[in-house]
Amino acid sequence: MSPIGIIGGSGFYKLVGIEGPQKVHIDTPFGEVIATRGYLSNKEVIFIPRHGEDHTIPPHKINYHANAYAMYKLQVEKVIATSAVGSMRKDLKPGDFVLPDQIIDFTKSRRYTFFDGDFAIQLKSGELRAGVYHVDATEPYCRELRKIIYQVGKEMGLKIHFGGTYVCTEGPRFETPAEIKFFRKIGGDIVGMTNSPEVFLFKELNICYALICVVTNYAAGMQKKVSHEEVLEIFKRRSEVLADLIRRVVAKL
């Protein structure tokens, strides 16, 4: 059985409960990735903290290509990622979980694809992707994996929402109230800084990818002020539940 990939977002820098953890250094064409390899619910897992173990990497400087390719190189077929997000809907409250099914990308300076003319990869299906490749993004997130996460979340009695549109901004600053007002008008539900190009890179590699978002605050203009400290504090309160959710999901895969 192939390992299961887990990517930790803000506030989720270590995988609680992992057995026999070992640091592994993975060389990729895009740079080295340091990951933790071990077992969770008797399944092999590969864990990468997106921002580094001490949150030293800002959203616009994350090596998304290296992280995704490292998972591919280790033959990961399913990835569960986490993210702290702001809510643009009153019914998506701090502490809730959201499993987005769509994304709107408002980042500005990132490299968005493996296939910009000079890269080739042989997929497990035997398909060769090379040169310029246009990936279908009708379903950015893996429906089957999202269904399993939602089912487990409901069994745990969590306030978990199946579906929603994630708006990805450049960061590292938070958004302005005017930006949030615009994002709400075009159909955005939650806002974050890290899911593009991450979700699309896994799509290009044919790796099933789902994102568990933890709502940590209401977006700018919907509450008095937004701070990074508040985001981490709310996420910390939900981190044990999130770790338990991931452990139970892994057990079902």
Q: Tens digit of pLDDT for each residue in 178-229?
A: 999 999 999 999 999 999 999 999 999 999 999 999 999 999 988 877 777 7
Question: From CA 41, how far away is CA 69, in angstroms rounded?
Answer: 25
Question: From CA 250, how far away is CA 253, in angstroms rounded?
Answer: 5
What local confidence, expressed as pLDDT, does residue 224 receive? 73
Q: What percent of the chain has pLDDT over 70?
A: 100
Q: In the chain, how many domains are there?
A: 1
In terms of residue numbers, what domain contains 54?
4-252
Question: From CA 3, how far away is CA 43, in angstroms rounded?
Answer: 7
Q: Concatenate the DSSP letters of all residues of 125-187 into one string.
A: TS-EEEEE-----SS-S-HHHHHHHHHHHHHTT--EEE--EEEEE--SSPPPHHHHHHHHHTT
> Domain holding 156: CATH number?
3.40.50.1580
Residues near 233 by Cβ (< 8 Å), separated by ≥ 6?
Answer: none
What local confidence, expressed as pLDDT, does residue 204 receive? 95
Helix, strand, coil shares of the chain as percentages rounded to 5?
25, 35, 40
Check if the beta carbon of residue 4 is closer than 8 Å to that of residue 78.
Answer: yes
Could you tell me which residues are beta bridge partners of residue 79?
Answer: 5, 209
Question: From CA 23, how far away is CA 52, in angstroms rounded?
Answer: 13
Instruction: With residue 44 as reference, give the H or E element that holds it.
Output: strand 43-49
Could you tell me which residues are beta bridge partners of residue 83?
Answer: 213
Using only C-alpha atoms, what is the Rg of the chain? 17
What local confidence, expressed as pLDDT, does residue 138 receive? 97
CA distances from 125 to 11, 64, 122 (A): 36, 23, 8
What local confidence, expressed as pLDDT, does residue 14 receive? 80
Question: From CA 143, how far away is CA 156, in angstroms rounded?
Answer: 20
Question: Could you state, in chain order, the average pLDDT of each consecutive group of 10 residues for the chain (253 residues)?
Answer: 90 82 95 96 94 87 96 96 95 96 97 88 80 91 98 98 98 95 98 97 96 94 78 78 95 95
**pTM of the predicted model as reported, rounded to 2 decimal places:** 0.93
Question: From CA 139, how far away is CA 20, in angstroms rounded?
Answer: 35
What local confidence, expressed as pLDDT, does residue 96 receive? 96
Check if the beta carbon of residue 61 is closer than 8 Å to that of residue 16.
Answer: no
What local confidence, expressed as pLDDT, does residue 26 receive? 97
Instruction: With residue 191 as reference, give the H or E element that holds it.
Output: strand 190-192
What local confidence, expressed as pLDDT, does residue 223 receive? 81
Question: From CA 122, how far away is CA 79, in angstroms rounded?
Answer: 19
